[in-house]
């Protein structure tokens, strides 16, 4: 029979499945922070491997109650940040969510995270498609990103050490 017959084994997944967005998530990581920290930051590259533009509108994570895309800004030597809003990713393009530019602001953590932990994200696009991403908790960006902490606002000296580096600097304007 040529009719569509979803496999029985995937019925549960199918019931909640949204269409997979044609993206490749690379270099996903969450900056480690001391226990009790109430806001963390996450980074990744979102590469559009499809043939149409995508619009990234939101993300969520089992590990956090609220996830927002923020942009860091430097003004008069002070770092601040604001919600970045939806981001267009052209076909073949890559949205870089890197320290010093965009970051996922990870709020309302449901439990402490330590270096090496995996954090799952679901990215949502304007066309209703979604992408799953798994980020590792780490002290600094994976070497393969080619970006280092030296672009971290508030740390122009490049002297980033320890867990609070960019996150601590970025959190202050909200408080």
Q: Which residues bind Cu ion (CB under 5 A)?
A: 70, 81, 105
Of residues 23 and 39, the one with the C-beta less far from Cu ion: 39
37/108 Cα distance (integer angstroms): 9
Cβ at position 105, least distance to Cu ion in Å: 3
Of residues 89 and 170, the one with the C-beta less far from Cu ion: 170
Is 79 within 8 Å of 12 (Cβ atoms)? Answer: no
Cβ at position 174, least distance to Cu ion in Å: 7
132/120 Cα distance (integer angstroms): 7
Of residues 21 and 102, the one with the C-beta less far from Cu ion: 102
Cβ at position 92, least distance to Cu ion in Å: 28
Cβ at position 46, least distance to Cu ion in Å: 17
Tell me the residue nearest to Cu ion as measured from the CB.
70
> What is the helix (H) or strand (E) element at residue 166, kind and residue range?
helix 165-171
86/138 Cα distance (integer angstroms): 26
């Amino acid at each position: 029979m040529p009719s569509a017959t979803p496999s029985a084994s995937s019925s549960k997944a199918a019931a909640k499945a949204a269409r997979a967005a044609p993206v490749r998530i690379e270099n996903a990581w969450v900056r480690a922070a001391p226990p009790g920290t109430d806001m963390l930051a996450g980074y990744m590259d979102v590469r559009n491997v499809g043939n149409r533009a995508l619009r990234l509108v939101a993300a969520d994570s089992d590990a956090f109650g609220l996830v927002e895309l923020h942009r860091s800004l430097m003004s008069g030597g002070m770092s601040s940040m604001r919600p970045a809003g939806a981001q267009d990713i052209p076909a073949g393009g890559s949205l870089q969510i890197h320290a010093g530019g965009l970051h996922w602001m990870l709020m309302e953590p449901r439990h402490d995270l330590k270096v090496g932990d995996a954090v799952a994200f679901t990215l949502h696009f304007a066309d209703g498609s979604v992408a799953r991403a798994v980020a590792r908790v780490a002290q600094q960006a994976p070497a393969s990103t080619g970006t280092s902490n030296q672009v971290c606002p508030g740390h122009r000296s490049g002297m980033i050490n320890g867990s609070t580096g960019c996150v601590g600097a970025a959190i202050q304007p909200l408080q």
